[in-house]
């Protein structure tokens, strides 16, 4: 699932990179690296978080 307004975020990095390829001819967003943090939230029409904010940081495997 994706945002109606892509200026507020994308569902995944692959989607963002695909948009960049279509728009600019090449991706500019890198894939995640150790130390990067991902924040996921779903907001309803009244501005409330549906399940709470999820914050994950990439750690070495």
Per-residue pLDDT of the chain (61 residues; tens, 9 = 90+): 677 787 787 888 899 999 999 999 999 999 999 999 988 888 899 999 999 999 999 999 8
Separation CA 27–CA 51 (nearest Å): 31
Query: What's the pTM value of the predicted model, to 2 decimals?
Result: 0.63
Distance, first Cα to last Cα, the chain: 28
pLDDT at site 56: 96
Per-residue confidence (pLDDT) for residue 29, from 0 to 100: 93
Residue 1 pLDDT: 67
Q: Which residues contact 21 (CB under 8 A, 6 or more apart)?
A: 27
Q: Quickly tell me which residue has 């695909």 as its tokens.
A: 18
């Amino acid at each position: 699932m994706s945002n109606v307004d892509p200026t507020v975020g994308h569902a995944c990095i692959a989607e963002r990179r695909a948009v960049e390829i279509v728009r600019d001819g090449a991706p500019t967003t890198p894939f995640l690296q150790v130390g990067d943090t991902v924040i996921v939230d779903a907001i309803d029409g009244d501005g409330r978080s549906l399940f709470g904010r999820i914050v994950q940081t990439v750690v070495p495997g």
